[in-house]
Amino acid sequence: SAHISMTDQEQPSGQRKTSVHEATIRIWRDNLDSIREDIEARINLLFEAADVNNDGLIDLTEFEAIVLERTKYVIDEEPQFTRKEYAQFQTRIRKSFRKLDKDKSTGLDRSELKKYLMKEIEDEYREQVIREMGTFGL
């Protein structure tokens, strides 16, 4: 009787069979690639909406609005921020903004914002996949 292994196997055609690990990674990447295009369209829409003064850059005030919008659901579930906690939160936002503003133009251009949000989304997706793997005992 033939022994079935989860590792690579030589096929009669001489081609190597894809391992389960490789197939799983390929599925994740394909899923991420398929949503990346949609995400980029949404980021463009967000950029247009957030660029209140239409100067082609997201300034600190506009960036704060984006971050606060993304975190408002978490904040709404928590008790009100103290003045000190809110000041600390704003300080972290400013530090993030300066770090993201690679060309120090006092504003994030579309590519800087896209790079930041794509990394966040990919990290969230990766964590979700890891959690789902845990439910299967992997």
pLDDT at 91 over 80: yes
Q: Phi then psi for 81, rounded to 5 degrees?
A: -65, 145
State the pLDDT at residue 126: 75
**Does pTM surpass 0.85?**
no
Contacts of 47 (CB under 8 A, 6+ apart): 58, 110, 113, 114
Q: pLDDT, tens digit, for every residue of 65-86?
A: 888 777 664 555 555 667 788 7
- What pLDDT, on a 0 to 100 scale, did the predictor assign at position 107? 92
Q: Over 50: is that where the pLDDT of 33 sits? A: yes
| pLDDT tens digits along 100-135 | 888 888 899 988 888 888 877 777 777 877 777 776
Nearest 5°: the CA angle 112, 66, 130 is 75
pLDDT at 11 over 70: no
